[in-house]
Structure 1
């Protein structure tokens, strides 16, 4: 009995001792169940609590497949509950894989937007959106002005007026980006999107170390509360499997002061920094010739060259014959 009383006294004393945790670590993370998606997915029937599906999305026991390795598919997964917290982090475990060795696409995207459940041409969701998109682009357009490798991760903020230039990987409107070789890996791959104190940080974990490596950080990013999380993917002429294994959303509770109580619901999405604009180069116009016409033209070209060589040979032999007769 005395031992128990002493233990309770010790616990009480420890609870009032000031914390010695450094300032930079004074943030507590709470996983938000209503914004998260963890196995087992199934609720009642084929529905998943707090989530809606769009397009080709298919739920399995181990992953949610947004698109299969089939051409011209669009799929999306949208959270039904608006995010009311000011500071948050979303960690996505995903897998992008397929049969293509050199050519594959198109990729997937994470969204924090005003209007969810909108199908469109930007990785399965709508263009001219309002909010934030993080794009994981696997398709390399060799006619583009950019010089980065693929897959490529980038971010864009939009107030509903900007067009995402899919053919050029959105490089004309991106906040930042980095190359990330996450495709066709045997181990788990993750991406983290963290928004705190008007700073957006995107990190990846693709080396099977369970450690996130920073991709890029952008300050001066204005995002409101009350928008919706979602992920979407698309295939075009090229294809891949785009699988979501889990989505974990965290409430990052700052201990800075009263700033977390500020009403951010009416903030217009904006960013004080964009990468320098790049010239929008027009792609060369595609040839109107069919494959058979090209083959015929190639054969005619080769025949013309051979004919020219043959005629040249005859002319040369005739010249030699005339020179020989001149000496007799």
Structure 2
């Protein structure tokens, strides 16, 4: 089945297109992590470096064990200077905890900083670059619109913090639910960045089919950042295992006009419609307040109607008694 899946992935790369633009993909081994993980964490010649509680076994890079208060990561030593790329991540999240009694999740990074511990799934807060998170524990009490585990993407410019209490909602570009824990089959995450468009898909159903998660245009990421993966446990825990990260260079045919439009060098990560997203979340917060006051005034109105009704009924009953004398 693994052979069939790899043939499917390779053939897929030659027939996929982006908005009518033909693409070819080429595996870049210097940016890829896969078995047998030779020299990781012990050899200076390795392209990858371990951090924190992560360990290497014959079958995976275990970012965290199923133990409380652990964090670990693996980072590329080589900055990536590819304009268009595609990252396929093979991972596994499993543990003894039952539903909603596990945490906290796994993150895949393309950032300016590397090898820095922190609270954002084992990486530093106020990061600069792209983070794609597989969040397995809901911190926000009212998460009606979300089913966890949940996959989301965020772009940071070094001044934007990750809101743990709201599970990253204020800075989320988009996301989808992904039931990835304790599965018997393989689970994959697909991240593509081409022509300043970010696409994330998942393959978690054991059917070897990609499912759309998010597709955001106008994402501007600088060259020369580092790929990495990290994970974190707190009071709750899980095994967060990374089996492989395979990076493909995409060759995209562009028109002359497109080439001229993209000549401007990107130095700070940004998203063209980020303000619209912020306004959406602010409106979302206001809608909650509006709902509260709507319910409050409705209850007051109902109470007032009951009081008026009782007064009217009392007057009517009094006048009725007088007619009998």
- Report TM bin, short chain: 0.7 to 0.9
Shift of 1:144: 4.3
Q: Between 98-107 and 141-150, report the one with greater CA deviation.
A: 141-150
Normalising by structure 1, report the TM-score: 0.75
Distance in 2 (CA, whole Å) between partners of 1:44 and 1:208 is 29
Normalising by structure 2, report the TM-score: 0.75
1:188–1:206 contact (8 Å) kept in structure 2: yes
Aligned partner of residue 250 in structure 1, secondary structure:
strand
Aligned match of 1:147: 145
Candidates 65, 90, 94, aligned match of 1:68: 65
Aligned match of 1:105: 103
Aligned match of 2:267: 267
Task: Say if 1:265 and 1:78 are closer, same or farther in 2 by CA, change over 3 A.
Answer: farther
Aligned match of 1:15: none
Structure with greater helix share of residues: 2
Candidates 147, 162, 165, aligned match of 1:164: 162
Matched, 1:57 2:63: no
Task: Say if 1:263 and 1:44 are closer, same or farther in 2 by CA, change over 3 A.
Answer: same
1:144–1:167 contact (8 Å) kept in structure 2: no
For each residue in 1:274-320, what CA deviation from the matched residue of structure 2 results, as whole angstroms up to 9, or x when unmatched? 44214299xxxxxxxxxxxxxxxxxxxxxxxxxxxxxxxxxxxxxxx
**Count of residues in Structure 1 that have an aligned counterpart in Structure 2:** 263
Shift of 1:265: 5.7
Aligned match of 2:175: 177
Distance in 2 (CA, whole Å) between partners of 1:45 and 1:228 is 17
Matched, 1:93 2:80: no
Task: Say if 1:260 and 1:253 are closer, same or farther in 2 by CA, change over 3 A.
Answer: farther
Aligned match of 1:287: none
Aligned partner of residue 109 in structure 1, secondary structure:
strand
Aligned match of 2:192: 194
Aligned match of 2:241: 243
Distance in 1 (CA, whole Å) between partners of 2:16 and 2:226 is 33
Q: Between 86-95 and 141-150, report the one with greater CA deviation.
A: 141-150
Aligned partner of residue 119 in structure 2, secondary structure:
strand
List structure 1 runs of 4+ shifted beyond 4 angstroms: 20-23, 260-266
2:122–2:230 contact (8 Å) kept in structure 1: yes
2:134–2:151 contact (8 Å) kept in structure 1: yes
For each residue in 1:169-192, what CA deviation from the matched residue of structure 2 results, as whole angstroms up to 9, or x when unmatched? 100110001101111101100000
Shift of 1:21: 11
Task: Give the gaps of 5 or more residues in structure 2.
Answer: 1-14, 289-325
Task: Say if 1:260 and 1:138 are closer, same or farther in 2 by CA, change over 3 A.
Answer: farther
Shift of 1:40: 0.8
Shift of 1:43: 3.0
State the Cα RMSD in Å.
2.5
